[in-house]
Amino acid sequence: MTISTWSPTSKIITNITNANPGVVTMSQSHGFLDGLYVRIDMQPTPSLFGMTQVNGQIYLITVLSPNTFSLNSDTSNFDSFIALTNPQSPQVIPMAEVATTLQNAVQNTLTPYGGH
């Protein structure tokens, strides 16, 4: 018997701006939606890519285009990001979404089935 496991798809980072908010550019379309939480992963050697302050951190994102999004963080004073061609590229890993539906269910503000 084979047991399949789910693993979030990582995406390769090509740039992170020093700005407020910081903007991440991906190597391809990310397919993310506003309200997604992502983790920045620069392993195994974060110092190769600069901007070590974002490594391992989780951010709420706002989508700006098919391959860019902003972080809910001011990266203006962070080290500059260094784009390298390396087998261990910095990645964005989806973590979770803002669960408005679940929040509404807990607060019992959902519209009943059939609208009544």
Q: Tens digits of per-residue pLDDT, 44-63? A: 777 888 899 999 899 999 99
> From CA 42, how far away is CA 56, in angstroms rounded?
8
Record: fold of 11-106: Elongation Factor Tu (Ef-tu); domain 3 (2.40.30)
Q: Tens digits of per-residue pLDDT, 59-94? A: 999 999 999 999 999 999 999 998 776 656 788 877
Q: What are phi and psi of 28, to 5 degrees?
A: -150, 175
Domain boundaries, the chain: 11-106
Task: Note the pLDDT of residue 90.
Answer: 80
Q: Tens digits of per-residue pLDDT, 94-114? A: 776 655 544 554 555 545 555
Task: Kindly tell me if the per-residue pLDDT of 6 is higher than 50.
Answer: no
> From CA 67, how far away is CA 10, in angstroms rounded?
13
Residues 6+ apart with CB under 8 A from 24: 13, 15, 16, 40, 61, 68, 69, 70, 71, 92
